[in-house]
Amino acid sequence: MTAADVTAADEPAGGRVVLVTGGSKGIGAACAAWFAANGDRVAATTRGPAAELEPPDGVPEERFMALRCDVTDAAQVEQAFAQVEARWGPVEVLVANAGITKDMLVVRMDEDAWHDVIETNLTGAFRVARRAVAKMLRLHHGRIVFVSSVGAFVGLPGQANYAASKAGLVGMARALAREVASRQITVNVVAPGVVETDMTAALGEARVGQLVGMVPLGRAGTPEDVAAAIGFLASDAAAYISGAVLPVDGGLGMGL
């Protein structure tokens, strides 16, 4: 499914208000581009300077916002949402994508490496979801998509902290999905596999090659592959899907 397929005549003028955390590169940047191409208004956050976050190609300034937001800082989360609301109104689609890795074997893993990854990937996602839901309740609609990982299910060595954080998102999503279902807010999870991003490249060429060799579809995924799945879960077409975990991994984790 491409963005063009989803561009619907029934979208409200100006498009939906979408917030993507970790929107400066990889899957987050691809999501920002997907929603912008779909006609939505997209706010993308980055830990770095907002000025370095460029609008996706061909997207006018009116439909794009770059925001500095470290999801480990509740005040920055609040400020990011406040900026979006002041300009466009409440966030209708949240893509909680910001994530980090600090890979090491458990026996060598210090508590900081554990804590930092949980704090960003899981608690950070909780922070943005909580803030988004507060307004979505009043809207009586909303879409939340958490970006998990096939690593939550296969448990790659060296990623105990990352796997725990990404598995945690699934439990959080399911609990939240039940809490807000009566307001027509859906909460879903995508579980990307080996995707061509900086995070994957950091695993090293040999490891990536090995992992790609295990992918039934025989290639690494692109950030756009994942963005298309997220775009679908956020669309009207996915109105009856909530609490689901959608693998986008070329079949790597199937059955897990």
Partner 1 sequence: MDKALDKEREVDNEAAFDKFRDCAVEVLQVPADKVTMEARFAEDLDADSLDLVELVMALEEAFGVTVDESELEDIETAGQAFELISSKL
Q: Which residues are catalytic?
A: 162
Q: How far apart are alpha carbons 216 and 207 in whole angstroms?
A: 17
Q: Does 180 bind partner 1 (CB under 8 A)?
A: yes
Q: Find out whether 81 and 89 touch, Cβ atoms under 8 Å.
A: no
* Other Cβ atoms closer than 10 A to 243: 16
Residue (82 or 254) nearer to partner 1, CB: 82
Q: Which of 8, 106, 134, 202 binds partner 1 (CB under 8 A)?
A: 134
Region of 45-53, 111-119, 179-187, 239-247 interacting with partner 1 (CB under 8 A): 179-187
Q: Does 108 bind partner 1 (CB under 8 A)?
A: no
Q: Does 179 bind partner 1 (CB under 8 A)?
A: yes
Q: Please, how many CA atoms are within 13 Å of residue 120, restricted to the half-sphere of its CB?
A: 20
Phi and psi at residue 231, to the nearest 5°: -60, -40
Site string for partner 1, 154-173 (x = CB under 8 A): --------------------
Residue (14 or 89) nearer to partner 1, CB: 89
The token pair that represents 87 in the structure block: 């300009």
Region of 51-59, 90-98, 102-110, 130-138 interacting with partner 1 (CB under 8 A): 130-138
Q: Does 78 bind partner 1 (CB under 8 A)?
A: no
Residue (111 or 182) nearer to partner 1, CB: 182
Q: Which of 109, 118, 137, 139 binds partner 1 (CB under 8 A)?
A: 137
Q: Does 174 bind partner 1 (CB under 8 A)?
A: no
Q: Positive or negative, the Cα torsion across 186, 192, 195, 199?
A: positive
Q: Does 202 bind partner 1 (CB under 8 A)?
A: no
Site string for partner 1, 207-226 (x = CB under 8 A): --------------------
End-to-end CA distance of the chain: 25
Please list the alpha-helical segments (H only) found in the chain.
3-6, 26-37, 74-88, 111-118, 124-139, 151-154, 160-180, 198-201, 205-213, 223-233
Q: Which of 68, 102, 141, 183 binds partner 1 (CB under 8 A)?
A: 183
Q: Which residues contact 37 (CB under 8 A, 6 or more apart)?
A: 3, 4, 56, 59
State the residues that interact with partner 1 by CB under 8 A: 134, 137-138, 179-180, 182-183
